Chains A and B, each alone.
Chain A
Amino acid sequence: GENVEQHPSTLSVQEGDSAVIKCTYSDSASNYFPWYKQELGKRPQLIIDIRSNVGEKKDQRIAVTLNKTAKHFSLHITETQPEDSAVYFCAASMMYNFNKFYFGSGTKLNVKP
Chain B
Amino acid sequence: KNQVEQSPQSLIILEGKNCTLQCNYTVSPFSNLRWYKQDTGRGPVSLTIMTFSENTKSNGRYTATLDADTKQSSLHITASQLSDSASYICVVSPTTSGTYKYIFGTGTRLKVLA
Chain B binds chain A = no
